Chain A
């Protein structure tokens, strides 16, 4: 069990550019979550998937944000036309189902720190 991995760990981009982050969940975890954490704040929920289906999106997830999990394994989070306010740590987490019921604990990756200049 290698844990949740995220790539890249750090990304510096210029305002207006597009960026894409990748998350690989723990093997066989059905649910995958994206959160955003700004300095001095707790993580804020963005969206989550069960297998390849996107089940919930936060109002924080503007039209410039899109997330996919095409084969129910890894996921990507893309931000188009980045703004300075997008600078944050983007965290991915995964959790499993057992017997069709969710296990509530989420396991987090190390995060991708985005800096928009």
Chain B
């Protein structure tokens, strides 16, 4: 069975500061990893994904994440936070069959002026 743990249900940063959202996964097969963002009362938008190849992946809006197999982690970072980044972020894992996603519980990012 797969699982995802997001450390920290709430993260608060100042505008311009580094954003770091943590995600650890458990999977019995090579994982496919995703970060999604959700704005209030909206669906989820894909930020970035790791399937195979380069372990550092870049996504939209300046976000990136690094797959570290030895640490079973896929942390999301952004060098400089913008007010518009305030939202809820979900890490998810999928098996190799392209079936269901298993999501973490989410991290709410607050950005202060």
A residues contacting B by CB (< 8 A) are 4, 31, 33, 35, 40-45, 48, 55-56, 58, 91, 93, 95, 101-111, 113
Contacts and interface: CB of A to CB of B under 8 A. Distances in A.
Contact of A41 (B43, B44, B105): B105
B24 interface: no
12 contacts: A33-B100, A42-B92, A42-B103, A42-B106, A48-B99, A56-B99, A91-B43, A93-B44, A104-B32, A104-B49, A105-B49, A106-B101
B42 interface: yes
Contacts of A48: 99-100
Contacts, number: 61
A98 to B, nearest CB: 11
Contacts of B102: 45
B97 interface: yes
B46 interface: yes
B51 interface: yes
Question: Number of contact residues on B: which range applies?
Answer: 20 to 34
Interface string B33-44: 010100001111
Contacts of A33: 100-101
A110 B43 CA distance: 4
B107 to A, nearest CB: 10
B98 A42 contact: no
A102 B36 CA distance: 19
Contacts of B51: 104
A104 B45 contact: no
A42 B105 CA distance: 4
B73 interface: no
B31 to A, nearest CB: 10
Contacts of B46: 105-107
Contacts of A105: 34, 46, 49
B99 A43 contact: no
Contacts of B101: 33, 35, 43, 45, 106
A102 B98 CA distance: 6
